[in-house]
Structure 1
C-alpha cells in the first residue's frame, strides 16, 4: 500500500514537471514568434513565457497536492469462539462409545449415558 502511494506521488510530480516544461516552451515560443513579426525585444517574450509556465505549474502542483491520504489501518479484534450447549437430563452425561452402524460397521460416537 505504501509503494502504491509513493508511486502515485512520483507520477504526480513527473506530470507536474512535464506540464510546466511544456507550458513554458509553448508560451515562450509563441510569444517570441509574435515579437519577431512586430520587431519588439525578447525580454517581454521571456517574461511572458516564465509567468505562463509558473502559473500552469502552480495549478498542476496544487492539483497533485490535494490528493487525500489513505485511511489509517484499523485493528478489528476477532469475535468469541463458538459455544456448544448440550441439553442433558440430570444424572446423564455424554461419553464416547463404540456403536454399530448398519452398512458401515463399528464406529466411535459420542452418546448420552444415563445411570
Structure 2
C-alpha cells in the first residue's frame, strides 16, 4: 500500500500530466497567434510540479531504541555458595538463615 505522501505525489503528477495533455491537444488553427492558453497551461503545470518537488522533504529516520543493560549474575565465594545450597532461607546480603525454630542465625 502506498504511503500518504507518495499517494499525494502520484495524484499531483497525474493531475499535472492531465492539464499538460489538455493544453497540448487543444484544437486551434495552425495560424493562431494567441499563446495565452499555452502560457497558462505551462504555468499551471510548472506550479503543480514545483509544488510536488518542493513538498518532498528529506526522509525522517527514527532513532534506534536505547540499549538494554542487564546486571550480571552475582558471583559468590565458596562459603556463600555452601550456605545457599544448605539452607533455603539463607540471605546472602545479611549472611544469615532462619532456622526451624524461627530464629535468624549466621551461616558458618
TM-score by length of 1: 0.47
Q: Report which of the two has the higher share of strand.
A: 1
Q: Report which of the two has the higher share of helix.
A: 1
> Could you say which structure has the greater relative contact order, defined with CA pairs below 8 angstroms and 6 or more residues apart?
1
